[in-house]
Amino acid sequence: MLDWLSTAMCSNVDKRTVKSLFLAFSIAFITSCGSDENAPDVSDVKVELSTGRLDKDIAAIDTNNIAAGLQQLQAKYPDFLPFFLDTLMGLNIQGNYIDTVQGIRLGMRSFLTHKDYRGLFDTVAKHYPDTKQVDEWLQKGFQYHQHYFPASKPRKVVYTVSWLNNWAAFTYDSTILGIGLDMFLGASYPYYKAVGVPEYWSAQLNKEYIPVAAFEAMYRDKTAFEMDGKTLLHMMIQRGKEAYYIEKVLPFVPKHIRLAYTEKQLKWCEDNEAGIYNFFITQNFLYETSLQKVVRYVMEGPSAAGMNDQSPGEVGTWVGLQIVNAYMAQHPEMTLEKLIALPIEEQRFLQESKYKPK
**What string of DSSP letters covers 187-248?**
TT-THHHHTT--GGGGGGGSGGGHHHHHHHHHHHHHS----TT--HHHHHHHHHHHHHHHHH
Looking at residues 286-314, what average pLDDT do you find?
Answer: 95
Mean pLDDT of 327-354: 98
The burial of 358, by beta-carbon neighbours within 10 Å (0-12 exposed, 13-18 middle, 19 or more buried), is given as exposed
Residue 35 has a pLDDT of: 53
For 50-71, the DSSP string reads -EEEHHHHHHTS-TTSHHHHHH
Residue 21 has pLDDT above 50, yes or no: no
Rounded Cα–Cα distance for residues 108 and 93 (Å): 10
Q: Which of 49, 46, 87, 86 is nearest to 70 (CA)?
A: 86
Query: Nearest CA to 263 among 34, 103, 64, 23?
Result: 34
In this prediction, residue 4 has a pLDDT band, given cuts at 50, 70 and 90, of very low
Tell whether the model's pLDDT for residue 31 goes beyond 70: no
Which residue, 187, 142, 182, is CA-closest to 166?
182
147-153: average pLDDT = 94
**Taking 70 as the threshold, does the pLDDT of residue 125 lie above it?**
yes
On the question of pLDDT at 275 being above 60, the answer is yes
- Using alpha carbons only, give the angle 337, 262, 294 rounded to the nearest 5 degrees: 65
Average pLDDT rounded to a whole number, residues 15-21: 37
Q: Is residue 17's pLDDT more than 70?
A: no
**How large a percentage of the chain has pLDDT more than 70?**
90
Mean pLDDT computed over 133-143 = 97
Inter-CA distances, 109 with 62, 67, 116, 251, Å: 10, 10, 13, 43
Phi/psi of residue 191, nearest 5 degrees: -85, -5
State the pLDDT confidence band at 37, using cuts at 50, 70 and 90. low
Burial (Cβ within 10 Å: 0-12, 13-18, ≥19) of residue 220: middle
Residue 279 has pLDDT above 90, yes or no: yes
Mean pLDDT of 218-231: 97
- Amino acid 38: pLDDT: 84
55, 82, 265 from 61: Cα distances, Å = 10, 16, 44
Element holding 157 (H helix, E strand): strand 156-160
Q: What pLDDT is stored for residue 55 in this prediction?
A: 98
Predicted confidence (pLDDT) at residue 115 exceeds the cutoff of 70: yes
Model pLDDT for residues 183-199, shown as the tens digit of each residue: 999 999 999 999 999 99
